[in-house]
Amino acid sequence: MIEKQFNTKVFDIYGTTEGFVIAGQCEHGRYHVLTPHVFLELLDEQGNEVAPGELGHVVVTRLDAYAMPLIRYYLGDLAIKAHTDKQCACGRKYPMLEMIIGRDTDIVRTRSGKMLIVHFFTGIFEHIPEIQQFRVVQKDLDSILIEYIPAHSFFNKGILKKTERIIHEKLQENLTIYFQQVDRIEPTPSGKPQIIQSFLEKPNLSK
């Protein structure tokens, strides 16, 4: 809507409330890491750098903040590292991020170590119009609770069985799924819709 109203193009940047930009979109929509200013690491839960294409915890070191250094600062975000052999058509040589996922509390973990991001669930629920809104709540590794608001009064609970089956087909792992119909799903304090709420302990990247 902004692009249409202002007859311009909108670019996204990825930064921190600590006041610096980590990556920015170029005219081809790819996120380039601003390496002259920041050293970015994407780490697994043991604190090792993840391979390209994999999900990692964002840890940043600011290279030009002489008054207030930030060294290996754990942001609590997740991102996917791009393959280094990928070149962007814009010609910039800065490394790229494949995808910025968001908060690392916004993931569901499984017993086998899989991490299910918001897109895992939105990719399923976008094909289930009977459910207007949902939130996934996780309190232990073996189960999730899906709170949902039905889209209309003709809601048939059979759709929940179907949803459960699709999740299990995609996941290929045992995970108990509970459903609970709710009237309202509260947004986060910042006003964003919350899709996943995890009460699991945060990973400890102390290395």
Q: Is 26 in the site for Zn ion (CB under 5 A)?
A: yes
Distance, CA of 75 to CA of 52 (rounded, Å): 20
Task: Give the binding range for Zn ion (CB under 5 A) out of 84-92, 102-110, 112-120, 130-138.
Answer: 84-92
Q: Is 98 in the site for Zn ion (CB under 5 A)?
A: no
Distance, CA of 126 to CA of 139 (rounded, Å): 24
**CA separation, residue 92 to residues 3, 20, 24, 196 (Å):** 24, 20, 12, 35
Please tell me the count of residues contacting Zn ion according to CB under 5 A.
Answer: 6
Kindly tell me which residue out of 88, 117, 144, 175 binds Zn ion, with binding defined by CB under 5 A.
Answer: 88
Distance, CA of 30 to CA of 96 (rounded, Å): 7
What type of residue is 181? Q
The answer for residues whose C-beta is within 8 angstroms of residue 18's C-beta and 6 or more apart is 62, 70, 73
Smaller CB separation from Zn ion, 37 or 92: 92
Task: Write out the two tokens for 68.
Answer: 């207030």
Task: Give the binding range for Zn ion (CB under 5 A) out of 2-10, 27-35, 79-87, 120-128.
Answer: 27-35
Q: Is 90 in the site for Zn ion (CB under 5 A)?
A: yes
Task: Give the binding range for Zn ion (CB under 5 A) out of 20-28, 73-81, 108-116, 135-143.
Answer: 20-28
Q: Is 30 in the site for Zn ion (CB under 5 A)?
A: yes
* Residue numbers at the binding site for Zn ion (CB under 5 A): 26, 28, 30, 88, 90, 92
